[in-house]
């Protein structure tokens, strides 16, 4: 990890994610089932991936605008795989539009719409157990879009769902050019965007959860706080 460290400041947004009612105002793209499981939010696909392929995946967006210089934390419960879990952040239209601006093309959860469509975003894959090669050699991948650029990757300590002792506490720092990611306070990846290789440094925008079918996972205790550079 870099020598740059951050601490949590004041709360910006908090959602305990205690069940499906907690995300009634969130924006769904694609067919996602929201359920309540043990007072937590359970997410899974509605469409059968055997029939619908990559169109069975989805994205669930928090409707709140999230500024730059933030520390985002949540608890993660992998319940059933195969599948893949991702977190999107700093998501906006490529011309600076709000992510939900009606002038942008409709999005349906199909991945190319997000990495090579009308939006910019950073997206972190932190549970990559979809395909045999991903399960055989597990990594966390950070990509920057527009353009599907793999900007950094690191070893993923998360086990198969059958071996999981949940919850896993995930922490993501987005502070100007810095992105840092931790699992149970273990440093996983640390990247500094030069703002030249893959476009300008991304700043504020929307955040959201994505899963690739047939993954089933639960989430709790989402917080977004100001990040303070130490």
Q: Which two structure tokens, joined as six digits, stand for 102?
A: 């009606």
Helix residue ranges per DSSP H, 17-161: 49-52, 112-115, 132-136
Residue owning tokens 């309540």:
36
102-149 residue pLDDT tens:
999 999 999 999 999 999 999 999 999 999 999 999 999 999 999 999
The rounded mean pLDDT for the chain is 97
Instruction: Give the DSSP letter of residue 105.
Output: P
Fold of 6-98+111-229: Jelly Rolls (2.60.120)
What residue segments make up the domains of the chain, in order of their start? 6-98+111-229
The pTM of this model reads 0.97
Q: Is the peptide bond before 59 cis (omega within 30 degrees of 0)?
A: no
- For residue 1, pLDDT over 70 is answered with no
Element (H, E) at 127: strand 119-129
35-60 residue pLDDT tens:
999 999 999 999 999 999 999 999 99
Asked if 221 and 75 touch (Cβ cutoff 8 Å), the reply is yes
Percentage of residues in the chain having pLDDT higher than 70: 99
Instruction: Give the DSSP letter of residue 30.
Output: S
Residue 3's pLDDT is what? 83
């Amino acid at each position: 990890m870099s020598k740059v460290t951050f601490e949590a400041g004041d709360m910006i947004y908090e959602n305990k994610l205690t069940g499906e009612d907690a995300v009634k105002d969130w924006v769904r793209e694609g067919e996602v089932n929201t359920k309540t499981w043990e007072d937590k939010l359970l997410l899974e696909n509605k469409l059968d991936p055997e029939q619908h392929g990559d169109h069975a995946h989805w994205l669930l967006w928090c409707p709140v605008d999230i500024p730059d210089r933030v520390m985002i934390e949540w608890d993660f419960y992998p319940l059933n795989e195969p599948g893949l879990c991702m977190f999107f952040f700093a998501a906006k239209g490529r011309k600076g539009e709000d992510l939900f601006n009606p002038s942008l093309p409709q999005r349906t959860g199909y991945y190319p719409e997000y990495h090579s469509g009308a939006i910019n975003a950073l997206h972190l894959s932190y549970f990559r157990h979809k395909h045999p090669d991903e399960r055989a050699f597990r990594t966390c991948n950070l990509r920057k879009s527009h353009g599907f650029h793999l900007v950094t990757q690191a070893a993923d300590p998360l086990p198969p769902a059958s071996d999981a002792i949940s919850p896993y506490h995930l922490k993501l720092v987005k502070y100007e050019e810095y992105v840092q990611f931790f699992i149970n306070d273990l440093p996983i990846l640390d990247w500094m965007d030069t703002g030249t290789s893959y476009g300008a440094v991304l700043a504020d925008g929307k955040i959201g959860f994505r899963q690739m079918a047939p993954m089933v996972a639960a989430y709790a205790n989402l917080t977004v706080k100001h990040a303070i550079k130490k």
